[in-house]
Each structure stands twice: as C-alpha cells, then as structure tokens.
Structure 1
C-alpha cells in the first residue's frame, strides 16, 4: 500500500484536523526549508524540525539546492556545504521514527520559476545535487533522495539534469487539477497527466529504466467535480506501487486544494473514499522495487502482529488477503481481528491508552512514547475507530521496518 502524505502549511494543528476529518492519521507530512537567503535557510531548519515533533508523521523534507541570488555553479563547487551539513544534522536528529528520511532535492528544476532551475545550467544542477547528497550521506545513511520533476511547463528535457543512479533513490513528480487549463471531465483530465509531456507514464518509464521507485511529491485538486480524477489517481498510485503520494491539503500558493474545512465537499468525499479508513489506497509504504511480498498480504501480516501479537496462521492470512483483494478495506480486517474471540480472551475490555500501547508493542516492539500516545489517544477520543488506529500504527513506515523479518516471503499471493 502507498504511504499517505499531506502538505498542510506551517501549523501542526492543521495536520491533526486533516487526520480527524479523514478518519485516519497520515504517514508523512511534507515541509519546505526556506530559500530566501542562507540566514533564513539556517534558521528555518531547527524551527521546522521542532514543528512536527510528536505528530506521528514522518517528514518529507523539501530542501533547496540554492537560495535566491545564489548559483548552481557555486553549489556544485561545494560553496554551501556548511548549510547542507547543518540541515542534515538537524533533520537526522529530529526524526521520530527509525525509518528512511526522504529528502526532495531541488524540486521542479525543469521549470523556470525556481532559483535552482536547471535550464542552461544542467551540468551545474547535476553537480550541486550530487554535492548535497554526498554531504547528507556523510551525516546519516537513513536519507533517501527524491529527484522531482514537474508535469507540464517544462523548459528542458528533465533527463538532461539527471544526477545519476548513485545519487537518486526515488523519481518524484508534481501535478495539479485546475479547471483553468484542465478538462472539466475528471477522467479525461487525469489521462492528460498520464500521457502529457513528462507525465506520469514518462515517470514510470524513466524510473523503470533506472531501477528506481516512484512517488508523487505534490498533487491536488481545485474543483468540486473531481471524483473521477481522484479515483483514477488512487488507482494509478496503487497499480504502480508508489512509495508515497503527497496531497496539497492547503489553500496556499494560489491553489485551493484544502478539504478538511468543508471546501469542495463532493471531491472531499471521493478523497475520503479513496484514502480514508474504508479505502485501500493509503496506510503504509509500498514494498521496495523487486520485493517478493504482496503488499496486501504484508499488510495483513502486520495487523496480526499489531493486534494479536503473533505471526499469521496460513488459513487466516489467505482468507484476509483474499478479502482485501476483493474489496475489503484494511480497517475491515482490523475490525474482524478486534472482534475475534482470541482478542477478547487475551485482552477483554481495554482503556484507550492500553490499546495504543498494545499496538505499539505488537507493531513496533516498544511501549508507546508520550507524544505518540497523546496523538493516537486523541484520535480515538475524537471518534476515530480502534480499527483505523490499528491500521495507522501497523502500516506505518516504522512498523514496516520493525516487522520486516517476521513477514514471510511465502505470503506472496499473486
């Protein structure tokens, strides 16, 4: 399953509000370091690192290659390594989980609106990208680097500014649905994102040629008639095993994509259906390229550990995985486990705090920390179901990493 991320701006309370509206927590939150000048860049790092502490979401960091007025040639020569290293240290130390830390480097470089636009500076962009990656890797091997292309509006062939396979972990892309230039037919509009210049199909073809994973770093809709578009997007994300997809859950930057405050309710309902507890398009990262595990089977396996504290028996594993493949949601599976005789005999009636701690022990191998307990118990107190919370914890990046050795490759059900 594809990890769900959101960009909500600079207020952590908006992330909680979005999770409450959606009925499940997000796996990641997207954030941007400041590119005004190097002083602003440096000061934004500790502030941003502290902002998301205890949110329960791993941060996807958008890190500028240069600030306004600086050049890619300077960056390629190592002039800004001190700023890069300061950021790398702070971001590594601030990570709440032990999973990968995604860094989106010099995003939308193939347009002409960013200070790091590669047009006419392709070699310098490549050199700067490599320099930043090497600096970050000198701090931690947990960093994973996203090379991020904008769909449409490209002023260069993005491939001419590819840093090389040794420096890229994920091929990302950004796209938006805006009726100013897109078809009012959501299905047709999405197909234009697939087949257009440097679109979603180009992304898949390029990534496959370089044996890289894919992700959507930004996407959003600005229409209340986007049901078909959202359905097609969810299907595309799942069918192509993307590592994460990040929704623009804000009205910032002249794009009104926010759902949780009641804007565009019909499209919001479609988003909930696709990515909320009843959907099957969120709730944990996809398996790495080339992995032998079926993602639905692995998700069921993690729920066994989180809720029942044990490996799945073959009969239950097969039955639950088949149910998911025929339309059941992960929350349906979790609810069945929670209502089972086995669970009630072991645990009986549990307080919310004890329930969260049980899930932490089963999925993460540790007790719930204070911030995590506060976050998940807050969701339960606001009406989010225990099944949804179980899915959120069991399918998190941290749980996937912790349970990797317990999830059997024999569970591949193709």
Structure 2
C-alpha cells in the first residue's frame, strides 16, 4: 500500500494539485520532493474507445485507490476520437456519459464536490474535442453538447456533487464565444505553460520569463490570457483556477514567482502543476541540479510552511 508521510496541505491558500501521468507513485514522489501533501490529483479519462471511457474504476481504484483524502479532478472529453458534437447534441452518447458519471460517483464516496473538466482546452484544435482554430464552425454544436452533457451528469443520483470547469488554454482561439451559459458552468479554469524557444518543439516565446509572465497577466498577447480569463470569471461571478500550469528551464524562477503572487493576490481557487515530461517537459522532481533556481522558487512558494 502506498503511504505518504509528508505534512498536510497548507491552510488559507489556494488548493494545490498535481498531474503525475496517472500514477500514484508519481504523486507521492512529487509530495516527497515538495515536502507536503497535495489537495487534488488531475487524472485523464480515455478518449479512444467508449468501453474504456465509460468506467472510472481503473483511475479511481487501481491507479489512485491509495489516495486517501486527496480528491480527483477528472478530464472528461464530451466526445471521443472519431465521434462528433453534431451527434452528441442529439443524445447519441448519453448512455456513455451516464455510465461514466455513475462510475465516478461510486468511486468517490462522500458529499464533497467533484470537479469535472469537460472537453478541456476546447479552444485549441489539437484534441479530438477541440473547437478552436479551423474547427470554430463546430462551436454551436459544442455548446449544445456541453449543455446536454451537463444535464446527464447532474441528472444521475448524486449528480449535484459535480462541478464543471470551463477549462481553456492559452495559445489558442478566443474561448469566450464557446461559453455554454452561466447555469452550465461552476468554475472558470485556464491552462498556462511557459514555452521559450530554447525548449525546442513547441517553444515560441523569447527567453525573458518576466516579460512572458507580465504579458499573460496584462493582455500583452491577447485578451484571453490568464489576466483576461480572470476578468472573464469575475464578470461571470465564477471562481477562477489554474487547471494546469508548467514551467521550463533554468531561467524560469521569475515565472514561478509570478504565478505564486498571482494566485494569492487574486483569490484563485486552486492550481495544478504539470509534473510530467509527457506532452510538456515540466517535471521538476528530477531537476534540482539542472534547474536550481526555479525548483527552489517552487518549493519556497508552494512547499511546507516552516513552523515557528
């Protein structure tokens, strides 16, 4: 059995979460490195086959059965590979959604809120469920599908526990026209990743981490960066959270510090760090020597508080 011996999460701060590649051991490794427990664990539901999508047992029991009081946040695509919103909005996938909703509830006993991220990063076009970029003609079907999905999840016994995060991404189309309606969203979330050119691959920014952070906060890139989406959440009267974030490279300490200051200054509900090299090379637990400044900054900002 996997047991954590690190202190509980700090009080009076935003909830802290981690993505650890659907591995409890990775979560425990992150906690040991950070010196504290996390509040939430981000996990991803399969989007290749409905038979895998329908049940949360593997994630909730096999992978995270030893999570204790850490709560799972579920990435749940409204549609999966080779399906469509045009069909989803008509009810074609209701039974798949209903089965998954019941499975999630059966694996999370209690009365606490369960956060769902339907079709996260929908304003991009890199996922099967995205409606950004060249797929924007699908937005009306996406909205209708979200509304139906919401009804199915809320309609099962215990469904009032679900909380739905409108989880957008930077570096993509304006997500605001994709809003499914105030009554269908509980939380506004946003994904933020520092991507300097030096990282290669998808890197596109110049190597000034402070400038990069300032632009995100002050609409320097567009009006739907982290600052813009915070304002959008405030206009909607919804809590705001950072659903995913990651940093890269030895010179990114100021980006970490900027995030920490933003979270505390704006009463952000939670933040989840992408401690993985899958999809984005943001793993910190193995980079103490390689990235001393940002790893130190992260621990200082989010690690265990020293007792007086």
| Residue 58 of structure 2: aligned partner | 47
Describe how 1:245-264 pairs up with structure 2 within 5 A: 245-253=271-279, 255-262=280-287, 264=291
Q: What is the alpha-carbon root mean square deviation over aligned residues?
A: 1.4
Find the aligned partners of 1:256 and 1:116 in 2 and give their Cα distance.
23
| Residue 103 of structure 1: aligned partner | 116
SS at match of 2:137: coil
- Say whether 1:114 aligns with 2:154: no
1:269 aligned to which of 296, 302, 306? 296
Q: 1:97: how far off?
A: 5.4
Query: Structure 2 stretches of 5 or more lacking a match?
Result: 1-12, 198-203
2:166 aligned to which of 147, 152, 172? 147
Describe how 1:3-402 pairs up with structure 2 within 5 A: 3-42=15-54, 45-50=56-61, 51-56=63-68, 57-95=70-108, 98-118=111-131, 119-139=136-156, 140-154=159-173, 157-180=174-197, 181-194=204-217, 195=219, 196-197=221-222, 198-253=224-279, 255-262=280-287, 264-278=291-305, 331-332=306-307
Find the aligned partners of 1:54 and 1:96 in 2 and give their Cα distance.
14
Greater radius of gyration (CA): 1
Find the aligned partners of 2:152 and 2:302 in 1 and give their Cα distance.
36
The structure with the greater share of residues assigned to helix is 1
8 A contact 2:194–2:247 mirrored in 1: yes
Q: 1:249: how far off?
A: 0.4
Normalised to the residue count of structure 2, the TM-score between the two structures is 0.86
SS at match of 2:250: coil
Find the aligned partners of 2:22 and 2:117 in 1 and give their Cα distance.
18
Normalised to the residue count of structure 1, the TM-score between the two structures is 0.65
Find the aligned partners of 1:273 and 1:117 in 2 and give their Cα distance.
36
Query: Structure 1 stretches of 5 or more lacking a match?
Result: 279-330, 337-414
Q: 1:94: how far off?
A: 1.4
Find the aligned partners of 2:236 and 2:293 in 1 and give their Cα distance.
39
8 A contact 1:259–1:265 mirrored in 2: no
| Residue 366 of structure 1: aligned partner | none
Find the aligned partners of 2:215 and 2:209 in 1 and give their Cα distance.
10
